[in-house]
Amino acid sequence: MTQLTPKQPARRGRIFPELTLSPEELAEREAERDAFHKRCRAIFERVRPELMKEHYNWYIAVEPDSGDYFIDQDIEVASQQAREKHPHAVHCMFRLNEIGAVGRI
């Protein structure tokens, strides 16, 4: 068994405790994510009925600050189109169907 010397402090808990976020910071980040998603969802709900007729089950990337959206059958292509037009913005992905979920549930 290894003996601890005064030069070797006992390490317990996280590897990098200075990188631990406070509960307030975590709550603030979650609130920002929820607000971002609500802005994206509002744009998606506005354009979904007209786009579902011709592009059912396609992917839509929504950039909420400009209100732009990009659709394609391939999720990577829709995401790439959004990144090309708005390289420094975050976009949200939806699927053009009844619930808008991307991936498996």
Mode of pairing for the β-strands spanning 68-72 and 92-95:
unpaired
Distance, C-alpha 63 to centroid of its chain = 11
Copy the structure tokens of residue 33.
């994510």
Give the model's pLDDT for residue 98. Answer: 85
Burial of residue 75 (CB within 10 Å: 0-12, 13-18, 19+) is middle
What's the rounded Cα separation, in Å, for the pair 39 and 9? Answer: 48
Q: What predicted TM-score, i.e. pTM, was given to this entire model? A: 0.75
Is residue 1 over pLDDT 60?
no
pLDDT tens, residue by residue, 72-89: 999 999 999 999 999 999
